[in-house]
Amino acid sequence: MEIIPQVQDALTFIHSLNVAPIEDKLQASRARYEKLIPLAGEEEAVFSVEDKTIGFTDRNVNIRIYRPDNKKVLPAVVYFHGGGFFKGSLATHDRPLRQLTNLSGVVVISVDYRLAPEYPFPHGQNDCIDTTEWIIHHAAELGIDHHRIAVAGDSAGGTLAMAVAAKLKNILCQILIYPLTDCSFAAPSWSTFAEGPIVTLKSANEFWKYYTAGKMNTIPLYDNDLSGVPDTFIISAEYDPLRDDAVLYAEKLRQAHVEVKEMIYPKMIHGFMQMGGVIEEGREVMAEIAAYVRGKLRF
């Protein structure tokens, strides 16, 4: 494994983070994840950013709406952040999503779904599905075209995007950035990169235990019948234990005659999309996603 200088700079920054005052392991991990925000680079100005709370009968879900301009009706990408299902927030992905908004020219809506272990499966997934459905039904008031909506997410957020795209049949495409697609953790890349960097086999088992409330292998991440899945852009990193799972999922989609665009970034690590302030490929992948979105949403 060749760690190139930019990746090493990012890893050095991550390893320098100090959350020692926080004794609780779970809360320390969450705090450390929030401290990664500067790796994304400077905060870009966006035409408008609006925080909104959606009230459901049994809970509220917060969203953040990024608009690139004042056009009355635009396509939209509904985005679900990563963080192993137990960490991450609107703040952790704010800078990358500002970049995506400006590059794509579409509305981007970030969903602040509930986190495990306080809210294990299916709470977070239900938040993502219900919020996306709410967005579709309220598209006119949000200034978006309900016929041109995509879903996207990174890591755990990619897994949640898969669930949303499978449930709601009017999603035009899904963009999955190093998603978890197989909870067996048995693919070769899980052995090759068992010690990371970033995600380890041990940490993956821990966050999956949080998410499943200890029922480790009881949650299917996708249906066996993938014929109804929308066009897919799946992105993975060479030095990522999740790599082979993404590759396998892409192949299964092709076998189901789903149109798939696949990119594996050489010498990249899990999370590089959020490191565009340090790693050039982090900026490049945002441009690739933006171009895909513009093409698929016919914009």
Dihedral sign, Cα of residue 215, residue 217, residue 223, residue 224: negative
Q: Report the alpha-carbon angle 19-211-125, nearest 5.
A: 115
Q: Record the tokens describing residue 290, joined without a space.
A: 């933006």
Long-range contacts of 220-223 (CB under 8 A, 24+ apart): 221/159, 221/162, 221/163, 221/180, 221/181, 221/182, 221/183, 222/162, 222/163, 222/166, 222/181, 222/249, 223/166
Q: Record the tokens describing residue 295, joined without a space.
A: 């093409």
Q: Record the tokens describing residue 227, joined without a space.
A: 């014929």
Q: Record the tokens describing residue 187, joined without a space.
A: 């693919």
User: What is the spatial distance between Cα 88 and Cα 279, in angstroms, rounded to a whole number?
Assistant: 20
User: What is the spatial distance between Cα 78 and Cα 127, in angstroms, rounded to a whole number?
Assistant: 12
Catalytic residues: 155, 240, 270
User: What is the spatial distance between Cα 71 and Cα 81, in angstroms, rounded to a whole number?
Assistant: 26
Whose CA is closest to 98, among 175, 53, 18, 37?
37
Which residues have CB under 8 Å from 295's CB, separation 6+?
none
User: What is the spatial distance between Cα 107 and Cα 69, in angstroms, rounded to a whole number?
Assistant: 9
